[in-house]
Amino acid sequence: MVKNMDSILMTTPISSPLHPQANLPLLKGYLISKGFDTTIIDSNILFYHWFLKKTDFSLTMDELYKNPLYIMSYYEKIEKQLYEKSKHYQGLSVGIRYLEMKYDRTDIDEVIRATEDKKANPFINFYDQLIDQRVLSTDVKIIGIAITFQDQIISTFTLANLIRKKMPKVKIVLGGQMITRCYDTMIKNKTICSYFDYLCLWDGEEPLYDIHQKEILNKNIEFINVIDINNENTYIIDRLSKAPKAVDIPTPDFSDINFNDYFFPDMLVPIQTTRGCYGTCEFCAIPFGSNKYRMRSAQSVINDIVKIQKETSKRYGKKATLFKFMEDTSSPILLYEISKEIEKRAIDVKWETFARLEKAFTQEDFMDQLFKGGCRKIHWGLESNDPDILKNMKKKITTSYSDQVLELSAKAGILNFCFILLGFPGETDIERERLTQYIINNKNIHTITPTTFDLTKGSPMQQYFKEDNPYKMTISSPQGFQVRLSYLIDGKNWKANIVSKAHKFMLDVVKERPDIGFMSLIPDQVRSFYCDKYSNKWGQIFVDKFGKQNIKDMLFKTQKYIDAYEKKQEIAPYLLPEPLRREHFRTKEDIKLITSAIIARKQYEKRRIDQV
């Protein structure tokens, strides 16, 4: 590690160990362009290697293409190893995409207690070693820590606590989605504020640059969207300012990232073509996580891809060809322009992205052009097929052209991944059954991820909540690190009811569409790879060739999980199929939170009765 550097940027466990996140390479790219010496430590992937001790990745792309069962068994083996290693700690369960601990990550006091409990918190020993080996000798002035997911909360404050003890002069900066959404409750707790010096809100490039100017260049800076915890009464919050313009969104710098560390047979590179989301869906807090929507130019994106390919070719002896556009919502016209340029220049690249089901995608030859330009998978925000529910969600899409988009995309050869939202307030069993049949009968939908409705902090539904609402919804004020808030519908626990409905939904779909079931067993990052060799119908092809027993096992495990859920029994997480594994701990956390809210409400009502 280089000595006398200006800053170290770190990401913490737990997030996907299959590829690096885009946030820190973007921040490094920006700071380097401003003349600061900074480096990245991806302590998330380093933790997995430390925790498992032995993580040789022997799977090759040739094996992956030949038989998907190889990669299924590999990741299942890792999940089982993580489950066994977790037994050495009290109340711990670590997975590839989830974390459960003895302590409640949404409760600030619990998070603080977790930072000192070595019997329950593996991050203490991990960071104790990592700081000694890679940070202490650097004489670094600023350490920035990114928190995107709730699973990263306890590990982040464990790291901050140890930095405070070992390197008290270092300025600690926290940023990311979790900080942007929870800063208002964080600054009310003096103890948690002792773990950091600054909070960066929304896009981090300019706020972090300002902190560097103050701490390293000793400039007098007026902070905007920065909370200086030592002068917390002077901060200025203005979401629409202090964000890079589209032309200033940096090229990510992956020079500190070793792609060989990740649990993946090839390099999967995250980049951005846009920043933010232009949607205003009632239930969604994603737009709140960024300052505003911006589109980069097609040429700047192409320049990034070409630059990264040259760098990876020089460093690894082969160029990166697999890219993931890590953004909230892609622009249809920008994707079209990017694909035209890729085809024109014959750039060897395959990519996937996230998009809304916009009418623009129905233009003649539009989806064919995306495929020609490297697109192999699109994550679509379908949510529902019911016009009334879509209207209440303020999705601003209709099934008439969303069906057309999915059809044209499928015909072009692109894999259609659809997000499904179950249990939006007011949804009936009849509407949910129609959605089930719609997915079963729509062969243009290749795979899905169903989730159950959450009232999320920062969503329009929460920001502009009115007590007099058509759903008879009551909500609790956010506390601590809560981003999914407790709510009741007509005084009842809607979430608990809808979870069992979601279980039935998934079972019914998989029974009739085993291709969807089989594809859900494959890690999402892998799914687009098979389209070139086997077409986007590879789910059905592999079911016929390999997967009937896998689907039977999935149905058996799903039914076992449903039975355990209804009986309030535990089940080993690694046994769960991927769609359930991902939501398992979130559901447990939500039900616990809502149950507490119900108890608190009943206690309040009892006090009022006693007063009367």
Q: Name the percent of the chain lying above pLDDT 70.
A: 88
288 and 236 together in one domain? no
The per-residue pLDDT for 89 is 98
The per-residue pLDDT for 333 is 97
- Of 362, 306, 370, 305, give the one whose Cα is nearest residue 337: 370
The per-residue pLDDT for 439 is 97
* DSSP β-ladder status, 171-175 and 142-146: parallel
**Whether the predicted pLDDT of 3 surpasses 80:** no
pLDDT band at 20 (very low <50, low <70, confident <90, very high): very high
430 and 294 together in one domain? yes
- Of 555, 573, 550, give the one whose Cα is nearest residue 71: 550
172 and 235 together in one domain? yes
Q: What mean pLDDT is predicted for residues 495-513?
A: 89
**Whether the predicted pLDDT of 590 surpasses 90:** no
The Cα–Cα gap between 283 and 411 comes to 31
Answer yes or no: are the C-beta atoms of 19 and 325 closer than 8 Å.
Answer: no
129 and 46 together in one domain? yes
Answer yes or no: are the C-beta atoms of 6 and 142 closer than 8 Å.
Answer: yes
**Whether the predicted pLDDT of 523 surpasses 90:** no
pLDDT band at 601 (very low <50, low <70, confident <90, very high): very low
Q: What mean pLDDT is predicted for residues 80-89?
A: 94
Answer yes or no: are the C-beta atoms of 264 and 48 closer than 8 Å.
Answer: no
The Cα–Cα gap between 95 and 464 comes to 36
Token pair for residue 467? 């007590």
100 and 225 together in one domain? yes
187 and 305 together in one domain? no
313 and 198 together in one domain? no
The per-residue pLDDT for 597 is 47
Residue 326 lies in a domain: yes
Q: What mean pLDDT is predicted for residues 88-103?
A: 94
Answer yes or no: are the C-beta atoms of 280 and 329 closer than 8 Å.
Answer: no
536 and 450 together in one domain? yes
The per-residue pLDDT for 555 is 61
The per-residue pLDDT for 275 is 96
The per-residue pLDDT for 398 is 77
Residue 606 lies in a domain: no
Residue 302 lies in a domain: yes
Domain boundary among 190, 213, 246: 246
Answer yes or no: are the C-beta atoms of 523 and 71 closer than 8 Å.
Answer: yes
76 and 213 together in one domain? yes
Residue 604 lies in a domain: no
The Cα–Cα gap between 205 and 196 comes to 18
The per-residue pLDDT for 592 is 57
| CATH number of residue 308's parent domain | 3.20.20.70
For 88, counting Cβ atoms within 10 Å of its Cβ (0-12 exposed, 13-18 middle, 19+ buried), the class is exposed
**Number of domains the chain contains:** 2
pLDDT band at 124 (very low <50, low <70, confident <90, very high): very high
Q: Give the tens place of pLDDT for each residue, 369-411.
A: 999 999 999 999 999 999 999 999 999 887 778 999 999 999 9
Answer yes or no: are the C-beta atoms of 196 and 226 closer than 8 Å.
Answer: no
117 and 76 together in one domain? yes
Q: What mean pLDDT is predicted for residues 88-92?
A: 97
Residue ranges with strand state E in 201-264: 226-228
Residue 587 lies in a domain: yes
Q: What mean pLDDT is predicted for residues 203-227?
A: 96
**Whether the predicted pLDDT of 207 surpasses 60:** yes
234 and 281 together in one domain? no
Q: What mean pLDDT is predicted for residues 547-576?
A: 63
The per-residue pLDDT for 399 is 73
pLDDT band at 279 (very low <50, low <70, confident <90, very high): very high
The per-residue pLDDT for 607 is 40
pLDDT band at 574 (very low <50, low <70, confident <90, very high): low
The per-residue pLDDT for 611 is 36
Residue 524 lies in a domain: yes
Residue 573 lies in a domain: yes
Q: Give the tens place of pLDDT for each residue, 321-375.
A: 999 999 999 999 999 999 999 999 999 999 999 999 999 999 999 999 999 999 9
Rg of the chain over CA atoms, in angstroms?
24
Token pair for residue 320? 């990166």
For residue 378, the cross-strand partners are 353, 416
Whole-structure pTM value: 0.90
278 and 238 together in one domain? no
Residue 202 lies in a domain: yes
Query: Residues 6 or more apart from 339 whose CB is under 8 A from it?
Result: 369, 370, 371, 372, 373, 374, 375
Average pLDDT for the chain: 89
DSSP sequence for 331-369: -HHHHHHHHHHHHHHT---EEEEEE---GGGGSTTHHHH
What is the extent of the structural domain holding 193?
Answer: 7-246
For 612, counting Cβ atoms within 10 Å of its Cβ (0-12 exposed, 13-18 middle, 19+ buried), the class is exposed
- Of 554, 595, 594, 599, give the one whose Cα is nearest residue 577: 554
DSSP summary character for residue 290: S
pLDDT band at 67 (very low <50, low <70, confident <90, very high): confident
